[in-house]
Amino acid sequence: MGLIVQKFGGTSVGSIERILNVADRVIEEKNRGNGVVVVVSAMGKTTDHLVSMAKEISKNPSKREMDMLLTTGEQTTIALLSIALQEKGYEAISYTGWQAGIITESVHSSARIMDIETEKIKKNLNEEKIVIVAGFQGVTIDGEITTLGRGGSDTTAVALAAALKADKCDIYTDVTGVFTTDPRFIKDARKLASVSYDEMLELANLGAGVLHPRAVEYAKNYQVPLEVRSSLVRESGTIIEEEVSVEQNLVVRGVAFEDEITRVSVIGLPNSLKSLSTIFTTLATNRINVDIIIQSTIEGNGANLSFSIKSSDLEETLSVLSAVKETLGYERIESEQELAKVSIVGSGMISNPGVAAEMFEVLASNNIEVKMVSTSEIKVSAVVSEKQMIPAVNSLHRAFQLSEALLLSEYR
């Protein structure tokens, strides 16, 4: 008997009808002779609704209380799914994150999993029960309820698969796999048969919402076999593995994009390493993620520093940098909003020089201005105007012939 971890997202459990459909998918896996652990998200827009109610009361509600509030969403889903399975004649038991033994660091709203105490889950699996675990949540060693941040149910599922040494982790969602880009915006997007861990990690970090970056990190670190597949359509999905086995002809394997980017520029800094250290230490302490960074030297031994952040972090960024202005000694801070980041990703870029040059040539030929640039061995990112984001993605998708990507047979 094998062990399979299944994860179902909010859309997949968005109604009673869909929860009953999930129960059928779980039963199918159980009837194959496998032990099954199921991780679920909150139903549909439940989390957004809970956030909205809290914001009606307070513009800046306590992160601790928000964790208490938001974790109720998944608790509803696990109970309903367990009831559905029991009604269909299968033994099932539901656990919240803390009941399941998911121990996190002491950080509210974006905690990391530190350990998983698996004894309770293993005991139930040995008794042939289907175990249902609430995603997105855990508990500190002091008993404080925490959440893992948006997309944290993916992380819960992969971390459980690693801790339980599961044979596979299936991520069920409302799409049929990982596409060359977002098919909701680009009609020529194609499903990929497989993607490497490194490529998927880049795509996830660059805006592809199909998998949470932390989940991919766990999968890579613990070599957890992953498949992203549809909960509504019975067809094979996309395998995430160490080495891709098909579509080797693609130098670029995907185009990711992300809107609501803001460029922050700190003008007139003293040209010293201490200034840079203070800025980024301050932002990191306040859990503000900085992406692309550009520094330029100016006359008089000074420097200007620009970096990109999510637009939702702008107010807090300005506040924390203002608090250390005297220490940093900068002249002023400027910001440019309504920007987006467009990225090409592919492990084939390592052995194919000139890919970045081709990307910028494509953007220039389409009159798309590049405001910031970032590169790694397998990706190139460009910050552009938000209005030019989709045209940029379309032009790059065509230029790198991703609409011609080889498709996996619908069934293995």
Is 26 found in the same domain as 128?
yes
Give the pLDDT band (50/70/90) at residue 260.
Answer: very high
Query: Has residue 198 been placed in a domain?
Result: no
Q: Which of 100-109, 189-198, 294-303: highest mean pLDDT? A: 100-109
Residues 217-243, mean pLDDT to the nearest whole number: 92
Per cent of the chain over pLDDT 70 is: 96
CATH number at residue 110: 3.40.1160.10
Contact 225, 241 (CB under 8 A): yes
CATH number at residue 311: 3.30.2130.10
Per-residue confidence (pLDDT) for residue 52, from 0 to 100: 96
Whole-Å CA distances, 250 to 204, 342, 357? 19, 18, 17
State how far the Cα of 337 lies from the Cα of 204, in Å rounded to an integer.
22
Query: Has residue 25 been placed in a domain?
Result: yes
Q: Which of 249-263, 278-292, 361-375: highest mean pLDDT? A: 361-375
Is 159 found in the same domain as 19?
yes
pTM of the model: 0.84
Per-residue confidence (pLDDT) for residue 209, from 0 to 100: 80
Instruction: Choose the final residue of a domain: 148, 174, 200.
Output: 174
Query: Has residue 179 been placed in a domain?
Result: no
The residue segments making up the domain with residue 261 are: 255-403
Q: What is the pLDDT of residues 80-125, one digit of tens each?
A: 999 999 999 999 999 999 999 999 999 999 899 999 999 999 999 9
Per-residue confidence (pLDDT) for residue 251, from 0 to 100: 87
Tokens 């924390």 locate to 320
Per-residue confidence (pLDDT) for residue 410, from 0 to 100: 36
Per-residue confidence (pLDDT) for residue 248, from 0 to 100: 54
Instruction: Choose the final residue of a domain: 174, 209, 235.
Output: 174
Reference 217, options 153, 135, 159, 288; nearest CA is 159
Query: Has residue 218 been placed in a domain?
Result: no
Residues 308-314, mean pLDDT to the nearest whole number: 95
Query: Has residue 347 been placed in a domain?
Result: yes
Q: Is the dihedral of CA 70, 207, 403, 184 positive or negative?
A: positive
Q: How many domains does the chain have?
A: 2
Residue that wins the pLDDT comparison between 38 and 350: 38
Query: Has residue 339 been placed in a domain?
Result: yes
Instruction: Choose the final residue of a domain: 143, 174, 205.
Output: 174
Per-residue confidence (pLDDT) for residue 277, from 0 to 100: 86
Per-residue confidence (pLDDT) for residue 279, from 0 to 100: 92
**What is the token pair recorded at 30?**
């159980």
Query: Has residue 270 been placed in a domain?
Result: yes
Whole-Å CA distances, 372 to 10, 158, 265, 280? 34, 34, 12, 18
Q: What is the pLDDT of residues 326-350, one digit of tens each?
A: 888 899 999 999 999 999 999 888 8
- Chain-centre distance for alpha carbon 299: 41
Per-residue confidence (pLDDT) for residue 368, from 0 to 100: 97
Beta strands in 197-345 (DSSP E): 226-230, 238-241, 254-270, 293-298, 302-310, 332-345
Task: Report the SS3 class of residue 112.
Answer: coil
Per cent of the chain over pLDDT 90 is: 79
Per-residue confidence (pLDDT) for residue 412, from 0 to 100: 36
Contact 215, 221 (CB under 8 A): no
Sorted by sequence, the CB contacts under 8 Å of residue 151 that are 6+ apart come out as 209, 211, 212, 214, 215
Statement: residue 274 has pLDDT above 70: yes
State how far the Cα of 35 lies from the Cα of 72, in Å rounded to an integer.
27
